[in-house]
Amino acid sequence: MKQTWEPGQEGVMILPSGRLIRGRALHLPLPAGPPPEFGVYLLGESPPPVEWEARWVHWPDLRLPVDEPDALAAFAEAWRRAECERVEVACWRGRGRTGTALACIAILDGVPPEQAVSFVRRHYHRRTVETPWQRWYVARFRPPAA
């Protein structure tokens, strides 16, 4: 297996499967260490270019994704690639949208939807998933049928 993030690195969350995925705030400098190999960026407008492969999810601040099927596809790609690549998920402040996306990715990894917000608050940031509608989105998020 290819090396991904190091457990304990800033913003790195360990999923129940053992996959590591990093959440971060885009307004802060890139953390020390190797860069991501794939990023999912959750912003109201297209993010600036990066040196690694990236995907933009149109998601205005304090809201929900504009295109839910696109968001689901981005979460699924991030989860799949996190098995053997350094994957990060980020929004401007690294909390609301990032935490919501990480909670959905945790559901894809097997965390029950009703436990996903507390899981991400415990393993990523204690104040993540900020708004009632973000919590509602996570509570109703379901992986696609296989």
Q: Is residue 4 part of a domain?
A: no
Enumerate the H helices of 39-131 as residue ranges: 68-81, 96-108, 113-123
Give the chain's domain count.
Answer: 1
Sheet harboring 20-25: ordered strands across? 12-14, 20-25, 87-91, 38-43, 53-58
Identify the domain containing residue 123 by its residue range.
12-140
The pLDDT of residue 142 is 87
Q: Is residue 94 part of a domain?
A: yes
Cα(89)–Cα(36) distance, integer angstroms = 10
> Smallest Cα–Cα separation from 78: which of 22, 7, 24, 31?
22
Q: Is residue 2 part of a domain?
A: no
Q: Is residue 37 part of a domain?
A: yes
Q: What is the pLDDT of residues 89-133, one digit of tens each?
A: 999 999 999 999 999 999 999 999 999 999 999 999 999 999 999
Q: Is residue 7 part of a domain?
A: no
- What's 98's domain CATH number? 3.90.190.10
Q: What is the pLDDT of residues 19-61, one digit of tens each?
A: 999 999 999 999 988 999 999 999 999 998 999 999 999 999 9
Q: Is residue 5 part of a domain?
A: no
Assess contact for 96 and 59: CB atoms under 8 A.
no
Q: What is the average per-residue pLDDT within 10-17?
A: 96
Q: Is residue 6 part of a domain?
A: no
Cβ neighbours of residue 118 under 8 Å, at least 6 residues apart?
A: none
The pLDDT of residue 1 is 47
Q: What angle do the packed helices 132-140 and 113-123 form, to 10 degrees? A: 120
Cα(82)–Cα(59) distance, integer angstroms = 22
Cα(141)–Cα(38) distance, integer angstroms = 23
